C-alpha cells in the first residue's frame, strides 16, 4: 500500500433529499416536536445505518444549526433576550449529541465544517480516524433544501462490503457536491475528484 492511498469498506449507507420520507418513529413524539429540520434529517440518516460496533462518529455540516440561529437572531432583535433551550440547541454538533443521548451510548464523535469542502473533508477524517468502525454523517440546509447522508464504514477488509480507495492528491477539476458523492455510493460513477483526493469505487 502506497503512503498516499487509503482503503475503506462501506457496510451500508443512506441519504435524503428533504424531510418528506424520514422515519423518526424510534423517537417519542415530544422529542420530535423539539427537533429542527437539520436534527430530523441528520438523526434519521444516522439511525438508518447505525449498528452496535460503531466506535466513532464524524458529523459534517457547513452551516450547522442555521435554522435555530436565525430564530435566535430574530428573537434577540425583537425581544432583546433569547430562549435558553433554543440557545443550547444552536451548537453545531447538537444533532449528533442528541442522537447519542437517545441511544444512551458513550461514543466518541467529532463535528467539522470546512466550507465548500465539508463533505470530502468529513469523509477523509472518518477514514483516517483511529478507529476501525466509523459512522460518517453529513447534513446541511442550503437555501430551502436540506440534504443528508450517512455512511457506515470500516477499515477492516470485508469482502461482502463495497471497497473504496482514496488517493491523496490536489485536483483542479473538483466535485465536492452532495450529488456527486451519492452517485458514487449508488455505483452510477466509479470515480470522484475532490480538492484533496480522488476516490474510486473498487471493481471486483
pLDDT of residue 89: 59
**Number of structural domains in the chain:** 1
- Residue 40, judged by CB atoms within 10 A of its CB (0-12, 13-18, 19+), counts as buried
Distance CA 160, CA 163 (A): 9
How high does pLDDT run on average in the chain?
86
pLDDT band at 186 (very low <50, low <70, confident <90, very high): very high
pLDDT, one tens digit per residue, over 60-109 is 998 877 777 777 767 657 777 666 666 555 566 778 887 888 788 889 99
pLDDT of residue 145: 83
pLDDT, one tens digit per residue, over 25-49 is 888 787 777 778 888 899 999 999 9
pLDDT above 90 for 126? yes
Q: Averaged over 165-176, what is the pLDDT?
A: 86
Q: Is residue 189 part of a domain?
A: no
Q: Is residue 175 part of a domain?
A: no
Share above pLDDT 90 across residues of the chain, in percent, rounded to a whole number:
50
Q: Is residue 195 part of a domain?
A: no
Q: Is residue 32 part of a domain?
A: yes
Q: Is residue 190 part of a domain?
A: no
pLDDT of residue 202: 92
Of the candidates 78, 99, 104, which has an alpha carbon nearest to the alpha carbon of residue 31?
99
Q: Is residue 59 part of a domain?
A: yes
pLDDT, one tens digit per residue, over 155-169 is 999 999 999 999 999
pLDDT of residue 86: 61
When comparing pLDDT for 35 and 140, which is higher? 140
Q: Averaged over 141-158, what is the pLDDT?
A: 90
Q: Domain range spanning residue 68?
A: 9-17+26-161
Q: Is residue 118 part of a domain?
A: yes
Task: Collapse the DSSP code of 10 into the 3-class scheme (helix H, G, I; strand E, B; otherwise coil) and give the result.
Answer: strand
When comparing pLDDT for 114 and 23, which is higher? 114
pLDDT of residue 83: 67
Share above pLDDT 70 across residues of the chain, in percent, rounded to a whole number:
89
pLDDT of residue 7: 96
pLDDT of residue 76: 59
pLDDT of residue 191: 94
pLDDT of residue 50: 94
Residues 6+ away with beta carbon under 8 Å from 98: 35, 39, 43
> Which CATH number characterizes residue 64's domain?
3.40.47.10
Contact predicate 131/56, CB 8 Å: yes
Q: Is residue 148 part of a domain?
A: yes
Amino acid at each position: 500500500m502506497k503512503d498516499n492511498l487509503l482503503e475503506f469498506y462501506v457496510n451500508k449507507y443512506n441519504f435524503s433529499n428533504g424531510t418528506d420520507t424520514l422515519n423518526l418513529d424510534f423517537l417519542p413524539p415530544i422529542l420530535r416536536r423539539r427537533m429542527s429540520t437539520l436534527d430530523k434529517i441528520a438523526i434519521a440518516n444516522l439511525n438508518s445505518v447505525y449498528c452496535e460496533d460503531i466506535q466513532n462518529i464524524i458529523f459534517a455540516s457547513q452551516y450547522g444549526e442555521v435554522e435555530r440561529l436565525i430564530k435566535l437572531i430574530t428573537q434577540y432583535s425583537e425581544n432583546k433576550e433569547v430562549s435558553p433551550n433554543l440557545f443550547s440547541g444552536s451548537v453545531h454538533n447538537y444533532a449528533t449529541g442528541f442522537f447519542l443521548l437517545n441511544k444512551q451510548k458513550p461514543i466518541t464523535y467529532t463535528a467539522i465544517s470546512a466550507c465548500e469542502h465539508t463533505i470530502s473533508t468529513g469523509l477523509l477524517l472518518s477514514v483516517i480516524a483511529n478507529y476501525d468502525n466509523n459512522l460518517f454523517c453529513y447534513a446541511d440546509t442550503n437555501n430551502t433544501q436540506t440534504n443528508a447522508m450517512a455512511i457506515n464504514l470500516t477499515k477492516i477488509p470485508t469482502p461482502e462490503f463495497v471497497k473504496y480507495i482514496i488517493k491523496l492528491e490536489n485536483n483542479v477539476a473538483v466535485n465536492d457536491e452532495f450529488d456527486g458523492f451519492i452517485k458514487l455510493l449508488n455505483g452510477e460513477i466509479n470515480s470522484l475528484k475532490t480538492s484533496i483526493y480522488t476516490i474510486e469505487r473498487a471493481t471486483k
